Amino acid sequence: MHTEQTFAIIKPDAVAAGNSGKIITMIEDSGFTIAALKKVHLTRDQAAGFYAVHSERPFFNDLLNFMTSGPAVLMILEKEGAIRAWRDLMGPTNSNEAPKGTVRGEFGTNIEKNASHGSDAPETAAFETAYFFSCFERV
């Protein structure tokens, strides 16, 4: 294990519900350092580029509608084993299956409106952090 960075989003459902502060508290209480943070209302093109891997999936159009429905909070999180640790703290994709104590279990609604995003591998973490943050925006 080594200090690692991952990319996180507090999705528009959780921001609109007023839960971003609680999620950031969970993140900090779990020992992550927030290396970068900004609140952004994604454009459709930005969301489509970010989720390009899902462009052929039946839920892609709904996913873009959801991700552009309001502002989101974008973050780079740092910790030993951050990629795995943030996925564990989020819980499974489907909020209905996510245990209490996880971000998706506490603040998500269903398989789509699931409160948060996390990179799933070192390659996606590198792509996603660079997609949204320049080197001057990271501490």
Give 79 or 117: the residue with its C-beta nearer to ligand ATP: 117
Residue 59 interacts with ligand ATP (CB under 6 A): yes or no: yes
CA–CA dist 131, 97 (Å, integer): 30
Side chain identity, residue 19: N
Candidates 37-45, 71-79, 117-125, 126-134: pick the segment binding ligand ATP (CB under 6 A): 117-125
> Is 117 among the catalytic positions?
yes
Binding mask 12-51 for ligand ATP (x = CB under 6 A): ----------------------------------------
Residue 118 interacts with ligand ATP (CB under 6 A): yes or no: yes
- Count of Cβ atoms closer than 10 Å to residue 127 Cβ: 15
- Which among 40, 10, 32 has a CA at the least distance from the CA of 108? 10
Candidates 26-34, 39-47, 74-82, 116-124: pick the segment binding ligand ATP (CB under 6 A): 116-124
Give 39 or 54: the residue with its C-beta nearer to ligand ATP: 54
Interaction site with ligand ATP (CB under 6 A): 54, 59, 62-63, 93, 111-112, 114, 117-118, 120
Residues annotated as catalytic (active site), given as ranges: 117
